[in-house]
Amino acid sequence: MLTTRYVTGAPNWVDLGTPDIDGAAAFYAALFGWRFRPGGPEAGGYGLFQLDGRTVAGGMRTTPEQGPPSWTVYFRVPDADATAEAARQARGSVLLQPLDVQDQGRTAILADRAGVPFGLWQPGRTEGLDVVGAPGSLCWAELYTADVPAAAAFYHSVLGLETYGVDTPGGVYTTFGPAGEGEEAMFGGVVALADDPAEHEPHWLPYFEAADPDAAAAVAEEHGGTVRVPATDLPDVGRVARLTDPYGARFAVIRTEPAQGQGGPADRPAT
């Protein structure tokens, strides 16, 4: 379960890189009710998406040279520099060298062996997002990759993540959790690209809680987004839809089953 008790290895931030931050802000306002609060000049254009005054994500304008429009998931670490070196040793790469964000924390952007970007956040004054798991906020993260065992080994080596096998009607779903926290702390999963025709390249996919995924999909389309996978019921998990915003950034929405309460998309629709 993803919570704001941010332990080492748990996701504690998510942000959006987009060519049009004003257009993206309008889209996510319509979808989730977020308000975008731009940072000052010292923030370099970086701002915060907030819901009822609480930060649910970050965002900024990016250029094509910085990569395609996308969401980036960040993981809590005690030492961003040491973690970046661990990624190099594990045959990953450092896309953005560790740097201080004023007194708020220290960050870096890495890539795993398959080239999938992810972020690090070493807390300073800011531990992480103000809210997760509630409607309109981050609640799960899913990695799509060609080689599940290799990905599991990489993230264990670099972030200490532990994996768990969850039995599902279609087989076994591999989940991630922080080291030493047990299965109740699992916050995400790993899916083989070969098992999901809707996904064609390795990437991290953030999930946001939504009271009505069908309505969210309709709103996304009305405001220029795309429904990649229509809302689908996953037994004992919830109802899920996979979307893109108007600029191509991928994400998913889920109404988590009340009985589940602690997991995420631990089952896959038949394809």
Q: Which CATH class is domain 11-123?
A: alpha beta
At residue 172, the pLDDT reads 82
Confidence of residue 271 (pLDDT cuts 50, 70, 90): very low
Question: What is the tens place of the pLDDT at every residue in 84-142?
Answer: 999 999 999 999 999 999 999 999 999 999 999 999 999 999 999 999 999 999 999 99
Q: Where are the beta strands (DSSP E) in 93-168?
A: 93-101, 105-111, 117-123, 138-145, 162-168
166 Cβ contact partners less than 8 Å away, ≥ 6 residues apart = 172, 173, 174, 175, 263, 266
Question: What is the tens place of the pLDDT at every residue in 192-251?
Answer: 999 898 899 999 999 999 999 999 999 999 999 999 999 999 887 889 999 999 999 999
Q: Stretch 173-191: mean pLDDT, rounded?
A: 93
At residue 266, the pLDDT reads 40
Residue given tokens 């990624």 in the structure block:
87
At residue 262, the pLDDT reads 41
Q: Is the pLDDT of residue 269 over 70?
A: no
Residue-range domain boundaries for the chain: 11-123, 138-256
142 Cβ contact partners less than 8 Å away, ≥ 6 residues apart = 188, 189, 190, 191, 204, 205, 207, 252, 264, 265
Q: How far apart are CA 266 and CA 61, in angstroms?
A: 33
Task: Give me the long-range contacts of 191-194 (CB less than 8 A, separation at least 24).
Answer: 191/142, 191/143, 191/144, 191/145, 191/148, 191/268, 192/144, 192/145, 192/146, 192/147, 192/148, 193/144, 193/145, 193/146, 194/146
Q: Is the pLDDT of residue 270 over 50?
A: no
At residue 249, the pLDDT reads 98
- Of 88 and 67, more confident: 88
Q: What is the mean pLDDT of the chain?
A: 92
At residue 167, the pLDDT reads 76
Helix (H) or strand (E) holding 152: helix 148-159
Measuring CA to CA, how many Å separate 217 from each of 57, 190, 206?
20, 24, 15
**Same fold yes or no, 11-123 and 138-256:** yes
CATH architecture of 138-256: Roll (3.10)
At residue 268, the pLDDT reads 38
